[in-house]
Structure 1
Amino acid sequence: MSKPHPERACETERATEAAPLSPNIRRHLGQHLRTLFTDTLSAPVDPRLEALIARLNKPKR
């Protein structure tokens, strides 16, 4: 793990300084991400992961 450099802005500061993406760029990125992850999204969920998700959905006592 690297030490933060005082002369560099932290990640959150840089993210807030960045200009928002135009709707055309957001649409383009979304289309490419959907194409890239189509197989992953249609694959069955591992039973262990389903069990963990079910535990998260249960109310705490």
Structure 2
Amino acid sequence: MSKPHPERPSETERTVDAPPLSPDIRRHLGQNLRTLFTDTLSAPVDPRLEALIARLNQPKR
């Protein structure tokens, strides 16, 4: 568990104070993020991670 940082505003404070992003800026950010993470998203998933995900899908005992 992480400790709160007094120098960092909480998530609610940040969203209240920050102006909304324009559609053009949101589109630009989205395109750049997709370009940045394309390789990561197309890479094969590590077998250990696949096993953990499979365990999440199993019913609790």
TM-score range, shorter chain: 0.7 to 0.9
| Structure 1 vs Structure 2 CA RMSD | 2.4
Query: Which is further off, 8-17 or 30-39?
Result: 8-17
Q: Normalised by the size of structure 1, how large is the TM-score?
A: 0.72
Percent identity of equivalent pairs: 71
Structure 1's 41 and 9: CA in aligned 2 closer, same or farther, altered over 3 A? closer
Q: Normalised by the size of structure 2, how large is the TM-score?
A: 0.72
Structure 2 residues not aligned, in runs of 5+:
none
Structure 1 residues not aligned, in runs of 5+:
none
Question: Alignment length, in residue pairs?
Answer: 59
Higher relative contact order, structure no. (Cα contacts within 8 Å, ≥ 6 residues apart): 1
Structure 1's 9 and 51: CA in aligned 2 closer, same or farther, altered over 3 A? closer
Runs of 4 or more above 6 Å deviation: none
1:60 deviates by: 2.4
